[in-house]
A and B are shown apart, each in its own frame.
Chain A
Amino acid sequence: MIEPLERVISEFKKLPGIGQKTAERLIFHLLTRDSDEVYRLSEALKGLTEEVKRCQVCGNFSLGDKCEICSDPKRDRGKICVVSRPWDIAKIESTHKYEGLYHVLGGLVNPIEDVSPEDLSISELTERAKDDRVEEVILALEPKTEGESTSMYIVKKLRPLDVEVSRIAQGIPVGRDLEFTDKATLGKAFEGRRGVD
């Protein structure tokens, strides 16, 4: 294969979920489009590194030093929701159920991947939680083992402080049949059951 093609393929293959075959397919697709379209794609990609910054307060994606949420005066400053990645924020925002602030950890503790608590913004979180206005820290980390142990670690760190610590509920997805819910999820749903008002 000629060099420019090889070069793009090897870059594409670094992306998650893309192997040799998919990379080739994408590139052959791009080669059949007109050059304007390919140019727009490359400009858009360039914009990612040049324009998108991280919020200095919470770690969310941002155009300036402070993200839209952190600079919004209407947000409830008594609550901080802890997520592992910035895109979890967009997901939670889309529910319109949460009015507080966020804190992006930047991953989950995992010694196997050489991610230790110091690599995440946990000390930044405890600093933020010391603010008198903060009443509650809500942990919204993935319900897998890494999320579990990272949550436990954060709980330990927050315990000395005067804040409530809560975790989002785990259970059966809305609109899903009990029959097709796996046992672990169903078990969690039972553990987390609550009274009917």
Chain B
Amino acid sequence: MKIDRLKITNYRNLEDLEIEPNSGLNLIFGPNGSGKTNFCEAIHFVSTGDNIKGSRQRELINWDSNYALVRMGLLNVEEIVVYLEEGEGKEIKINSKSGRQSDLRSLVPTHTFVPEDLYISKGPPRRRRSLLNRHLSQLSSGYGHLLSDYNAELKKKNTLLKKDEINEEFLEVLSERLIELGARITGERADYLKKLNQYLPEIYGQFVQTDEKLNLSYTEDGLIDRSQEELEELLSDRLERNREKELDRGTSVVGPHRDKFEYLLDGRDLRTFGSQGELRTAVIATYLAYLELYEKKFNELPILVLDDILSELDRARGEAFLENLPEAPQIFMTTATRSPSFRKLSGEFTVLKIQDGVIERQ
């Protein structure tokens, strides 16, 4: 899959940008504020229907306009348009017909990496949880639905727990639902971690000279290789033990929405003793491992959008990243400076320059 044509209108500071990108690697240079990040965001927006930063709609539309539009042509899809009008919802058109966000995901598999992602290893557990959710939504059919069902039931249970009068039987129904859905989520996550850890140590070793093994693991023991029934039993026991606490606090305190994951280097928590560089490298390694699993499953890599990764890595690790760049059908990689590291790139690539919202080939 590859983007043949891209036209961005009034998306943030990009008033009118048009390009027919090449396949393979597209290196995009531009000073700060030139619109590099907005360019990446716009590609993510038209291929997923989502705004990667979760910004408010008004912020996505250029200040001098009341609508934003990203239009894209692909090999097998004539035209995909995602349209945003001030005060109205978002509209998706696929070959002039109304489409849904889920249609986009299957038509244009895209994976976007933003600099903030590099702090996943360092920040609170919720970041690693959302990383796993993002990966699993792509790799496992049904995971996205599973998660949204779980979250919907969780929200209901939390609302119910806060009420003065609680219908005990309905609370029990919601708990049963959460146990069943929750155990499935935990099972999926455990399976994914197991697969991920088959690749992580080797990939990490390509960036850091070490014999120590990197793993991403559940903080809680004993969740790997369990059957659905065993996981349901575990979850049900924990819910039972925390029943009073939940009623007391008016919120659900156990379940996969509280799952914790840590990066371990030979069993030691990377967060407490790893350097900044090692922490970021752990994320890069996870990303590459995910892509290996993705390719194994779908026989092709997604389109990659890599916003300014290199500036966050030191020179040696930046070069290691370029040397290990996945062979995706199309990659958009932005950077502020022309680093000497680009010597490390093998094969052909296209150089683009973006300035004041205009993009051109070099």
Contacts and interface: CB of A to CB of B under 8 A. Distances in A.
A111 interface: yes
A153 B155 contact: no
A186 to B, nearest CB: 8
Interface in B150-177: 152-153, 155-157, 159-160, 163, 167, 169-170, 172-174, 176-177
Given A148-B177, A152-B176, A153-B173, A111 B163 contact: yes
Interface string A115-158: 01110000000000000000000000000010011001100110
Contacts of B172: 156
B145 A118 contact: no
A187 interface: yes
B153 A149 contact: yes
Contacts of B222: none
Nearest to B151: A145
Given A111-B170, A149-B174, 9 more contacts: A109-B170, A111-B156, A116-B167, A117-B167, A118-B167, A145-B153, A149-B153, A152-B176, A153-B173
B141 A187 contact: yes
Given A148-B177, A153-B170, A112 B156 contact: yes
B102 interface: yes
Interface string B166-190: 0101101110110000000000000
A182 interface: yes
Interface of B: 102, 141-142, 145, 149, 152-153, 155-157, 159-160, 163, 167, 169-170, 172-174, 176-177
Contacts of A152: 173, 176-177
Contacts of A174: none
Given A117-B169, A183-B142, A184-B142, A111 B102 contact: no
Contacts of A156: 169, 172-173
Nearest to A145: B152
Contacts of B145: 182-184
A10 interface: no
Interface string A86-125: 0000000000000000000000011110001110000000
A1 B145 CA distance: 46
Nearest to A185: B145
A118 B163 CA distance: 14
B154 to A, nearest CB: 10
A194 B176 CA distance: 26
Contacts of B155: 112
